[in-house]
Structure formats: C-alpha cells, structure tokens
Amino acid sequence: MRYAPPIARLLEELERLPGIGPKSAQRIAYWLLTAETADADRLASAITEVKRTIHFCPVCFNFAQEELCGVCGDPQRDRASICVVEEPRDLVAVDRTGEFRGVYHVLQGAISPIDGIGPERLRVRELIDRLAPGEITEVVIATNPNVEGETTALYLARLIKPLGIKVTRIASGLPVGGDLEYADEVTLGRALEARREM
Ligand SMILES: [Zn+2]
C-alpha cells in the first residue's frame, strides 16, 4: 500500500529534518493527521513566522528579530570581551550560565577538514574585523570540546594572539566529544570561570 500523495509529501519533508529518520517521521505525521486542525495550523504558522521575521545579526551572526540580536542590542553588555561559539544554540547555553557579561561571535560551524570545512566557510573574517579597532581586551573561545572545536580554537588563537588580545579557552571538565548545548549550566559556568589563557 502506498501513502496518499499529500501524506507521502509530508513524510518526505519530515525526513529531511535533522535527527528525524523514517520511523520518527511516521510518528510525527500520524500525530499531525490526528491532531486538531488548530494545533497543526499553529505549528505551520510558527515555522512560517520564524522564517519571515528572523535573520542573522550583522554583528555577531546570532539569530535576530530586530536589526541587532538581543545581546548586541543590549547596552549593559561589556563590549570589551567577545565569546566565540559555533552555533546560536551554544550562545544560549553559555549565556544561561550568567557567568559571561560580554558579547558573542557565532562562527556558524567549526573547522572540519574531513567535511571540507575550512575557516573561509565560517565567520572568521568577520570576527577578525571586529577586533581591529583595538577595544577588545579578551576573546573567550567556547567552541565544542571535540576535535573540530579544538582545531578551531587553536586556529583562532594563532590568528588573534598576534593582535595583542588575550585569548582564553573554556576549561575542560566538559565531557570530551560532547556538545556545549548539552552541558548543564553549573558545569558550563565552571568551565567559563576556570578558562585559561591559550
Ligand atoms: Zn548580535
């Protein structure tokens, strides 16, 4: 038996989502098919709205609804220190600890030679441009504690240190090979507090 074309299309779209295999796609599709129309509409309109209203912050490349993101638009933030993260979700994880009051820079990935991702594919150029005026005293590198994250951290340290800016790396104690976003607030907060100079 074949699915009716609209269901087949929904399954096809769901399977393209990260972490969703055929089994999960079927489960979600079944939920949508039996859900109240209003519930399904809310999901559809949330997707449409996020695509319509959210863009990348032109300063730090976090997600933004206004011209600047919530952090860059906040006058209380200390603009002398920049915390470098891989993805917007890592920014959220670091910020939740409350240990960092500076601003951020989202690389939008990490260096991964195996996947053919070099620094030119990341927002590295834009980071270096932000450091130029000489108002930055510290760059905290909070890339993930895995091979790609460490490679990226070393690359950035080599690039930034000659500019006379202190470069620090969040401490280990985070599960190696793990993702920042899965670290609990206390662990991540301690890792930030115990950051060491590179
Ligand atoms: Zn921003």
Label residue 84 by pLDDT band (50, 70, 90).
very high
Cα 50 to ligand 1 centroid, rounded to whole Å: 17
H/E segment holding residue 168: strand 166-169
Query: Average pLDDT, stretch 2-7?
Result: 93
Residues 144 and 81: their CA atoms lie apart, in Å, by 19
Tokens of 38: 């209003």
Label residue 177 by pLDDT band (50, 70, 90).
low
- Pair 118, 148: CB distance under 8 Å: no
Mean pLDDT of the chain: 92
pLDDT at 171: 81
Label residue 174 by pLDDT band (50, 70, 90).
low
Cα 59 to ligand 1 centroid, rounded to whole Å: 5
Cα 102 to ligand 1 centroid, rounded to whole Å: 11
Cα 17 to ligand 1 centroid, rounded to whole Å: 26
pLDDT at 78 exceeding the cut of 90 = yes
Cα 157 to ligand 1 centroid, rounded to whole Å: 22
pLDDT at 98 exceeding the cut of 70 = yes
pLDDT at 100: 94
Tokens of 10: 């929904």
Query: Average pLDDT, stretch 15-38?
Result: 95
H/E segment holding residue 190: helix 185-193
pLDDT at 108 exceeding the cut of 90 = yes
Instruction: Classify each residue of 36-49 as buried b or exposed e, where b means 16 or more C-beta atoms within 10 Å of its C-beta.
Output: eeeeeeeeeeeeee
Cα 174 to ligand 1 centroid, rounded to whole Å: 26
Cα 69 to ligand 1 centroid, rounded to whole Å: 4
Query: Average pLDDT, stretch 10-36?
Result: 95
